[in-house]
């Protein structure tokens, strides 16, 4: 009997297009879900007859309570090699293998600059006005050259964002709790003396930190109040690093020039969520990792993981 494999959140229905699933075709029936399944009860019902789950990023939690309700589940393949919403201990206890895939840091770097440039030059507002017959030139763009870009985090993604900023002629500084001067010098940026100094001195602030106990709520109302009224904030990392209510208040009250956000406290974002209508906000529906090349890696390696599991030699096991 063929196993049933659920591919979750394939909104664009490309999972079977960008990767070759023929290596598992004889053993696995692929079932694509192109809409999000929300809530444990709905997931338990939808996945009741599923043996393998391929899940994107950290959108669908797999707590122990859900895993216990899926007796047929044998394998979870998550995109990327880090996933904080899978209960690994419960998976092991129930005999469920968890594997990951590679993930490129290039797409989120590129999207970060798409958001930052879109904000700085009013691209969405000007394009919408032009198409609607509105005023010719309604905004005055913010310059990048000579301005300060402040980076919270200087890892794989943050360092590549930094190098683009330097290429634009920006002054670039960075801060994180573990960042050293040697690392800052290696990338060619200034080491900010503190988080507060970075926020107060930067014209653009971009978040590139992993979510954890030390970074959750790192930017709250007090921190956002340090930003210049002409400053822009970009977050393509994790929503919980920035207090969402505090950010909404800053945008509504015009205390910052704008924000570019690709990550949200609830995903997909509900229709009536205030982030959908907030002023001074350029928002995208978590597109940071969504490129054809990255999807080819995710789903191609998902096929490899399924094949390896069937052959008794799982690859890229998590955690």
pLDDT tens-digit series, residues 88-130? 999 999 999 999 999 999 999 999 999 999 999 999 999 999 9
Q: What are phi and psi of 212, to 5 degrees?
A: -160, -175
Q: What is the mean pLDDT of the chain?
A: 97
Known catalytic residues?
238, 267, 286
**Position 172 pLDDT exceeds 90:** yes
**Position 1 pLDDT exceeds 90:** no
**Position 28 pLDDT exceeds 90:** yes
Quick one: which of 40, 42, 46 has its CA closest to 4?
46
**Position 295 pLDDT exceeds 90:** yes
Q: Can you give the pLDDT at residue 174?
A: 98
């Amino acid at each position: 009997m063929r196993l049933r494999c659920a591919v979750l959140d394939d909104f664009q229905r490309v999972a079977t297009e960008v990767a070759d699933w023929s290596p598992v075709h004889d053993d696995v029936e692929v079932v694509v879900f192109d809409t999000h399944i929300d809530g444990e009860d709905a997931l338990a019902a939808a996945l009741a007859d599923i043996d393998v789950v391929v899940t994107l990023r950290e959108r669908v939690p797999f707590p122990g309570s859900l895993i216990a309700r899926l007796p047929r589940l044998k394998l979870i393949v998550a995109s990327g090699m880090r996933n904080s919403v899978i209960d690994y201990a419960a998976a092991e206890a129930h005999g469920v293998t968890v594997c990951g895939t590679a993930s490129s840091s290039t797409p989120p770097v590129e999207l970060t600059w798409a958001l930052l440039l879109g904000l700085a030059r009013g691209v969405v507002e000007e394009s919408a006005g032009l198409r609607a017959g509105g005023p010719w030139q309604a905004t005055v763009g913010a310059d990048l050259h000579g301005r300060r870009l402040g980076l919270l985090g200087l890892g794989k993604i943050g360092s590549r964002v930094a190098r683009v900023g330097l290429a634009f002629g920006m002054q670039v500084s960075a801060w994180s709790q573990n960042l050293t001067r040697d690392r800052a010098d290696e990338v060619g940026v200034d080491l900010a003396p503190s988080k507060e100094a970075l926020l107060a001195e930067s014209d653009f602030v971009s978040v590139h930190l992993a979510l954890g106990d030390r970074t959750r709520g790192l930017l709250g109302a007090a921190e956002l109040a340090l930003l210049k009224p002409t400053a822009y904030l970009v977050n393509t990392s994790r929503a919980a690093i920035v207090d969402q209510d505090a950010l909404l208040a800053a945008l509504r009250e015009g205390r910052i020039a704008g924000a570019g956000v690709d990550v949200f406290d609830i995903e997909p974002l509900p229709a009536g969520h205030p982030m959908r209508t907030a002023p001074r906000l350029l928002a995208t529906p978590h597109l940071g990792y969504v490129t054809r090349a990255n999807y080819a890696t995710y789903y191609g390696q998902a096929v490899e993981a399924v094949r390896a599991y069937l052959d008794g030699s799982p690859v890229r096991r998590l955690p």
